[in-house]
Amino acid sequence: MADIEIIVVNDGSTDNSRNIADEFAENDFRFKIIDQENKGGGGARNTGLRAASGKYIIFLDSDDYYDKEILQEASEKIEASGSDILIFNGKAFYDYGDKIEFSPNPYFALSKDDEGIFSGIEFLKRSKGQIQQVCMKIFRHDFLIENELYFIEKVFDEDVYFFYKSMLSAKSVEYFHKIAFFRRYRANSIMTGNSMRNISDRIDGINILIEMTENLSKNDKREIRKQIMYYICVIWTMAVNRADKSERGSLLARFKEKGTTKILRQNLIDIIIFGFYFVISLPDVLMFIKLCFGKLAKSALKSRSKFFK
């Protein structure tokens, strides 16, 4: 695809990334390289977004890759429909260093039958909030600018906040059933690591998600908050898995400080639904846990009674 600009944001890299980008730029006029001090994933994306001049925007993280046809196909579809956002599917693959293992299932459970155009709210309900990853979407540039849609900077999991804000702003969202994005999972990477800051950032951001639903109708608010409950349960699972007792206690205290414990108590039915979903998706979950979290069940059981006291 010739009609494309590729903006590479060198977000304070300390490896050979800048030299690799230079090699591509020397041989391809479409590349534009921007250097900046480290601002994290959200800050890098904001820099790229502000520098972009194209009609449509798509994001790609450095560890991942696309099917080579998706840019052409997705841009043609969103041009024809005039949608604010076009979403496609993907697969995870697990990088163990000495081998690569692909998930047998698509990234989220939608099929060819789910193709169509919906409002943002309708699509959130239809997809159950599964498609939070920004890299499986192409956005109309004007839509992002008009709604002042930028990423929260220097926090982990900025995709989640951007996802809900953009979907709640979108008048039209199109689903295109193509497996075209391939996301790498590595042990101890930025997004899959179980660091204190990673979990703390996610806890701090929960109220941002809750606030986004305040102006919705009663039924819509209930539906979207169910989805947020699933996310809260994931974060709680990460917190109680901390091997260090003092770190675990600090994270659970942060949950209470932010009012999240109260939210969990008020939504016990949604927690049960989360548990059921966790079980039926267990093969993929266990593969992810093997990489990231270690002895999950033992530490979760140890901490649950204290957390809900």
- pLDDT tens readout for residues 33-49: 999 998 888 999 999 99
Mean pLDDT value across residues 179-198? 74
Higher pLDDT, 279 or 74: 74
E strand or H helix at 236: helix 218-240
Per DSSP, 171 falls in state S
Phi, then psi, of 151 in degrees rounded to 5: -90, 145
Q: Please give the model's pTM, rounded to 2 decimal places.
A: 0.80
Comparing 118 with 280, which gets the higher pLDDT?
A: 118
Burial class of residue 242 in the structure, from the number of CB atoms within 10 Å of its CB (0-12 exposed, 13-18 middle, 19+ buried): buried
Count each helix (H run) and each strand (E run) in the chain, helices first. Answer: 13, 9
For the cut 50, the answer to whether the pLDDT of residue 89 exceeds it is yes
Tokens of 15: 């490896």
* pLDDT level of residue 296 (50, 70, 90 thresholds): very low
What pLDDT is stored for residue 180 in this prediction?
Answer: 95
**What is the length of the chain?**
309
Question: What pLDDT does residue 81 have?
Answer: 96
Note the pLDDT tens digit of each residue in 111-161: 899 999 999 999 999 888 878 889 999 999 999 999 999 998 877 778 889
Give whole-number Cα distances, 26 to 17, 20, 22, 32, 34, in Å. Answer: 14, 10, 6, 10, 14
